[in-house]
Structure 1
Amino acid sequence: VYLGGWMCQGRMPGSVRARFAAQLEQDPENANAKRMLENFDRALSHPDEADLAAAAFFSNGKLAGDTAAAESL
């Protein structure tokens, strides 16, 4: 039985950032590479306390059968 899902993107290896940085060096106007670099930098702190709390809230709601609480995320 599938009860739903929750996801934290987590950290990525430095090689991923280097790849996006190289794309941006080749094309400084590459909007996608800029977005991906920004996303990489935001992901460095994940999973953080908020992610862990959200995961616990989601899973506790699903396990307890409280679909309203789990779906409110």
Structure 2
Amino acid sequence: YTVILHYISQNKPWFKVYLSKIFEYYFQLSPWKDDELPLSGNSSSIRNYAKYLMKQGSYCKSIYYYGVYLKYKLFLKK
């Protein structure tokens, strides 16, 4: 049977900051597997991901994503 899963929040699994193992598995089976996934839909998602990483104890990755957030906020999106 067919199942359709519709994501209604801004946190889409195809944004790199929200990747999950199950999405990654099925993405690799899809016709789009060679396409580059976007980092995020907006800068606040990147900031939230950095906060999440900090709470998980991934300090280096958190600092990296805070830097990405600042770059995104200051130079790429208005």
TM-score (norm. length: structure 1): 0.38
Q: Which has the higher contact order (CA 8 A, sep 6+)?
A: 1
TM-score (norm. length: structure 2): 0.36
Query: Is the helix fraction higher in 1 or 2?
Result: 1
* Larger Cα-atom Rg: 1
